[in-house]
Amino acid sequence: MSPVGTDHDARTVAAAAAAAPDWTSLAAAARTCVACPELAATRQHVVVGDVPPTGRPRLVLVGEAPGATEDETGRPFVGKSGALLDLLLGEAGLDRAEAAVLNVVKCRPPGNRTPKAPEVARCSGWLRRQLDLLDAPVVVALGLSSAKWFLGPRTVLAAVRGRPHEVDGRSVWATYHPSAAIRFGPNGAPRAGLLADLTAVAATLGGAP
């Protein structure tokens, strides 16, 4: 995938992703992606995402991009944000083991900067195919970058959170990223809002599958 241009590379990624018949094939293809030269040059791992060991996930959690710990381990949400996410999922009555955990962008941006629009565009084919393969009825978009991916570039998080939005046949809930909950502290609005939204999602899912 040569850096000929954002549109070209986005189409190339989308074609490679669409050709993957299953999760294993998709993950193998994504791990070789070099559509974003800066990210490919600085990453340690392509963080494809975690999926439940058996069966279809009850929900999909989608963050922004890997951080340092995720880049080191190749797994999403395993640093401080991940620890808080696991804690709040448990408080809400959800089990991470029943969820798929993904990111909009699969490679860590240098210095943990926000992914650039061309990087999001190039990487989108992977996430679209992941969502199709997983076929989960509920998606939780963690943070503004993820919310914009699902709901559009003009999305304002405060205006869309707290209720589901129908997107491509799925219920999409937009909420705070765990890193915001950490930044504003245990008594801050992002942590309370994230827990409230996860609790609302749990209520829509009902009891054990």
**Residue linked to tokens 């949400």:** 77
Residue 4 has pLDDT above 50, yes or no: no
> Are 52 and 97 within 8 A, CB to CB?
yes
Number of CB atoms found within 10 A of residue 130's CB: 24
Determine the distance from the C-alpha atom of residue 176 to the mean position of all C-alpha atoms in its chain, rounded to a whole number: 12
Distances (CA, A) of 84 to 43, 49, 115, 181, 208: 24, 18, 22, 8, 23
> Are 57 and 51 within 8 A, CB to CB?
yes
DSSP state of 132: H
Q: What is the pLDDT of residue 1?
A: 37
Q: What is the pLDDT of residue 8?
A: 83
Q: Residue 185 — left, alpha, or beta (φ > 0 → left; ψ -120 to 50 → alpha)?
A: left
Tens digit of each residue's pLDDT (9 = 90 or more) over 15-66? 999 999 999 999 999 999 999 999 999 999 999 999 998 778 999 999 999 9
**For 143-152, 176-185, 199-208, which range has the lowest pLDDT when averaged over its residues?**
199-208
Distances (CA, A) of 195 to 35, 78, 95, 140: 36, 18, 14, 12
Name the average pLDDT for the chain: 94
Main-chain dihedrals φ then ψ at residue 74, nearest 5 degrees: 80, 15
Q: What is the pLDDT of residue 77?
A: 97
Give ∠ CA 162-85-122 in degrees, rounded to 5: 80
CA distance 152 to 163: 16
Domains recognised in the chain with CATH numbers: 6-205 (3.40.470.10)
Q: What is the pLDDT of residue 3?
A: 39
| pTM (two decimals) | 0.95
Confidence of residue 207 (pLDDT cuts 50, 70, 90): low
> Are 205 and 58 within 8 A, CB to CB?
yes
Tens digit of each residue's pLDDT (9 = 90 or more) over 70-81? 999 999 999 999
Instruction: Please name every residue paired with 173 in a beta bridge, in sequence order, or none if there are none.
Output: 140
Residue 115 has pLDDT above 70, yes or no: yes
Confidence of residue 206 (pLDDT cuts 50, 70, 90): confident
Instruction: Please name every residue paired with 62 in a beta bridge, in sequence order, or none if there are none.
Output: 102, 141
